[in-house]
C-alpha cells in the first residue's frame, strides 16, 4: 500500500496537468464509488463553510467514557518493557485515570486525542520530536527497551494505523508544515497538528504561515483546521529556544482568520483541542504551548474538569473579593503562576489576576463583564 512503480508518479502528474490545461473536470479522481456520499473520500464541506466561531460548542465527555478511555490508553500490554522513567509516567497516569491524583498536561493532551478518535475523527500529530515531546511530557510513542519495537496506545481506538498518525518528522519546518496544511484543507475530519520542537523554529516555515495558513481562506476560500503547537517561554534555554514570536501571529490576525490561544491548565488544553474538531467551521489554531507548566505542581486538572468543563476564553480570579480589589492584572500562560506565587507570599488581597486564554479573537465582552464585578 502506498507504493507506485518508477515513473508512475510522473505519469499521474502529467495526466492531471493535461486535464487542467484542457479545462476538464478533475474531481472524479477523488470519487471511488458510484454514490459519493458513501465513499470514505467524500467530505461534506458545506457544513463547515457555513459555520461560525460564535456557534456554541460542547466539548464535554461523559465521565464513564472518559475514565474508560483514560484507562485504556494508559494500560501497557504485557511484554512491552518501558524505560524506567517512562514506566513511572504511565504508573502516574493510571492513578490519574482512577482519579487518585490530578491530571497533568501529558495526561490531558493524550486523553483529548483519545476522545476525538473515539468519536470517529482521525489524528495527524507531526513534528521533529512529537512522539516523546521535546520536554518529555507526551510519550505517545512507546519504545520497547528489549526489542526496539514501538507501540502507540492511541491506535487501540482506530481500525487502521493511519487514522492515528504520529510522526517524528524530518528537519524541514517548511516542507512538513506545508504538507500538513495541505492535508488539513482536504480533510476536516482529521485533527492535523504541527508541533515545533521549539516555537522559534516556526520561522523556518514563515512563508507557509503568511501565504497559506493566515490568508488561504481569504484568497482562495480554502479552509483549514491546522493546529500549530509552539513551545513558548523563557526557561533559560537561550536564543532560538525561547519565543514562538507571538507578536508575528497577532499581526497576521484579522477577520477571524485564525485562533491564537495560550492555555494555562491541562483542562484548558483538553477542551481547546476538542473544540478544534467539534466546532462548526475550521480555522487554523496557533497555540503558545508551555514548557515549565508541563510539570508545575499547580498546573493540574481533575477528571471532572475534563469531563464537564469547556474552553474558557478568559479565566477570572475566583479568589478575589471584588470589594477589596483596587487593581486588576491581565496575563497569559505561565506568568499567571508567577504572579499567584508572589501574591500568596505577600498575602495581598487587593489585586485580581485575570488570565486571557484566547488572544484572538480577543474576548472583549467577557473581559468587560469581568471588570464590572
DSSP letter for each residue of 260-322: EE---SHHHHHHHHHHHHHSSS---EEEEE-SGGGG-TT--B-HHHHHH----SEE--TT--T
233: confidence class by pLDDT, cuts 50, 70, 90:
confident
Mean pLDDT score across all residues of the chain: 92
Q: Are residues 101 and 244 in the same domain?
A: yes
Whether pLDDT at 167 is above 60: yes
Whether pLDDT at 65 is above 60: yes
Q: 16 lies in which domain range?
A: 8-42
Whether pLDDT at 198 is above 50: yes
Q: Are residues 286 and 361 in the same domain?
A: no
Q: What is the DSSP string of 15-55?
A: HHHHHHHHT---GGGG--SSSGGGSTT---THHHHS--TTS
The least confident of 30-39, 222-231, 266-275, 288-297 is: 30-39
Judge contact between 71 and 103, C-beta under 8 A.
no
Looking at the domain assignment, is residue 52 inside a domain?
no
Report, as an integer, the average pLDDT of 213-229: 96
CATH number for the domain spanning 278: value is: 3.40.50.12470
- Structural domain ending residue among the three candidates 308, 340, 362: 308
Report, as an integer, the average pLDDT of 180-186: 95
Q: Which neighbouring-strand residues pair with 124?
A: 165, 192
Q: What are phi and psi of 328, to 5 degrees?
A: -115, 130
The least confident of 29-33, 180-184, 188-192, 270-274 is: 29-33
Question: What confidence score (pLDDT) does residue 110 get?
Answer: 97
29: confidence class by pLDDT, cuts 50, 70, 90:
low
Question: What confidence score (pLDDT) does residue 373 get?
Answer: 84
Looking at the domain assignment, is residue 1 inside a domain?
no
Q: How many domains does the chain have?
A: 3
Report, as an integer, the average pLDDT of 301-320: 96
Question: What confidence score (pLDDT) does residue 2 get?
Answer: 63
Q: Are residues 289 and 173 in the same domain?
A: yes
Q: Are residues 243 and 283 in the same domain?
A: yes
Q: Are residues 304 and 320 in the same domain?
A: no
Length of the chain: 373
Question: What confidence score (pLDDT) does residue 1 get?
Answer: 44
Q: Are residues 184 and 325 in the same domain?
A: no
Rounded to whole angstroms, how far apart are CA atoms 123 and 121?
Answer: 7
Q: Residue 31 CA to chain centroid, in angstroms?
A: 30
Looking at the domain assignment, is residue 55 inside a domain?
no
Q: Are residues 260 and 319 in the same domain?
A: no
H or E stretch at 229: strand 227-231
Looking at the domain assignment, is residue 47 inside a domain?
no
How wide is the angle at C-alpha 252 spanned by C-alphas 188 and 273, nearest 5°? Answer: 35
Which burial class, exposed, middle or buried, applies to 101 when counting CB atoms under 10 A from its CB (0-12, 13-18, 19+)?
A: middle
Q: Are residues 301 and 319 in the same domain?
A: no
Rounded to whole angstroms, how far apart are CA atoms 37 and 298?
Answer: 48
- Structural domain ending residue among the three candidates 266, 283, 308: 308
Rounded to whole angstroms, how far apart are CA atoms 119 and 60?
Answer: 12
The three-state secondary structure class of 122 is strand
Residues whose CB is less than 8 angstroms from the CB of residue 167 and which lie 6 or more positions away in sequence, other chains included? 124, 125, 126, 130
Report, as an integer, the average pLDDT of 34-63: 81
- Structural domain ending residue among the three candidates 308, 326, 357: 308
Q: Are residues 25 and 95 in the same domain?
A: no
Judge contact between 343 and 351, C-beta under 8 A.
yes
Report, as an integer, the average pLDDT of 323-349: 95
Question: What confidence score (pLDDT) does residue 159 get?
Answer: 92
Please state whether beta strands 164-168 and 190-195 pair in parallel, antiparallel, or not at all (unpaired).
Answer: unpaired
Grid coordinates in use for 72? Answer: 485504556
If one counts every other C-beta atom within 10 angstroms of the C-beta of residue 308, the result is 15
Q: Are residues 264 and 334 in the same domain?
A: no
Rounded to whole angstroms, how far apart are CA atoms 93 and 106?
Answer: 9
299: confidence class by pLDDT, cuts 50, 70, 90:
very high
Question: What confidence score (pLDDT) does residue 62 get?
Answer: 97
Looking at the domain assignment, is residue 57 inside a domain?
no
Q: Are residues 147 and 221 in the same domain?
A: yes
135-154 pLDDT per residue, tens: 889 999 999 999 989 999 99
Looking at the domain assignment, is residue 56 inside a domain?
no
82-114 pLDDT per residue, tens: 999 999 999 999 999 999 999 999 999 999 999
Q: Are residues 106 and 179 in the same domain?
A: yes
Q: Which DSSP state fits 200? A: G
If one counts every other C-beta atom within 10 angstroms of the C-beta of residue 108, the result is 26
Whether pLDDT at 316 is above 50: yes
6: confidence class by pLDDT, cuts 50, 70, 90:
confident
Looking at the domain assignment, is residue 2 inside a domain?
no
How large a percentage of the chain has pLDDT more than 70? 95
Amino acid at each position: 500500500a502506498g507504493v507506485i512503480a518508477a515513473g508512475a508518479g510522473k505519469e499521474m502528474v502529467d495526466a492531471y496537468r493535461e486535464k487542467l490545461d484542457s479545462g476538464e473536470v478533475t474531481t472524479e479522481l477523488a470519487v471511488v464509488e458510484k454514490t459519493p456520499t458513501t465513499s470514505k473520500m467524500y467530505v461534506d464541506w458545506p457544513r463547515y463553510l457555513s459555520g461560525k466561531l460564535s456557534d456554541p460548542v460542547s466539548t464535554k465527555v461523559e465521565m464513564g467514557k472518559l475514565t474508560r478511555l483514560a484507562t485504556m490508553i494508559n494500560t501497557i500490554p504485557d511484554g512491552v518493557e518501558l524505560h524506567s522513567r517512562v514506566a513511572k509516567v504511565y504508573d502516574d497516569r493510571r492513578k490519574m485515570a482512577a482519579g487518585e491524583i490530578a491530571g497533568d498536561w501529558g495526561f490531558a493532551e493524550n486523553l483529548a486525542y483519545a476522545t476525538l478518535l473515539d468519536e470517529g475523527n482521525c489524528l495527524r500529530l507531526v513534528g521533529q520530536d512529537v512522539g516523546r515531546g521535546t520536554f518529555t511530557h507526551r510519550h505517545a510513542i512507546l519504545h520497547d527497551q528489549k526489542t526496539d519495537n514501538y507501540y502507540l496506545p492511541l491506535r487501540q481506538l482506530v481500525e487502521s494505523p493511519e487514522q492515528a498518525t504520529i510522526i517524528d518528522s524530518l528537519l524541514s519546518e517548511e516542507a512538513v508544515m506545508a504538507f500538513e496544511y495541505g492535508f488539513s484543507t482536504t480533510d476536516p475530519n482529521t485533527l492535523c497538528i504541527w508541533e515545533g520542537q521549539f516555537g522559534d523554529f516556526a520561522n523556518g516555515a514563515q512563508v507557509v504561515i503568511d501565504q497559506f495558513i493566515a490568508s488561504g481562506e481569504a484568497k482562495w476560500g480554502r479552509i483549514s483546521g491546522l493546529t500549530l503547537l509552539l513551545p513558548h517561554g523563557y526557561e533559560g534555554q537561550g536564543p532560538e529556544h525561547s519565543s514562538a514570536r507571538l507578536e508575528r501571529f497577532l499581526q497576521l490576525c484579522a477577520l477571524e482568520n485564525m485562533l491564537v490561544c495560550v492555555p494555562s491548565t491541562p483542562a484548558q488544553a483538553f477542551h481547546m483541542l476538542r473544540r478544534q474538531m467539534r466546532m462548526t467551521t475550521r480555522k487554523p489554531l496557533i497555540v503558545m504551548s508551555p514548557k515549565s507548566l508541563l510539570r508545575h505542581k499547580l498546573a493540574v486538572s481533575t477528571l471532572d474538569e475534563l469531563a464537564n468543563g469547556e474552553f474558557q476564553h478568559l479565566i477570572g480570579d475566583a479568589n478575589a473579593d471584588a470589594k477589596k480589589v483596587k487593581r486588576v492584572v491581565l496575563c497569559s500562560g505561565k506568568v499567571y503562576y508567577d504572579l499567584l506565587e508572589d501574591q500568596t507570599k505577600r498575602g495581598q488581597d487587593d489585586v485580581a489576576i485575570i488570565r486571557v486564554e484566547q488572544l484572538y479573537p480577543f474576548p472583549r465582552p467577557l473581559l468587560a463583564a469581568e471588570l464590572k464585578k
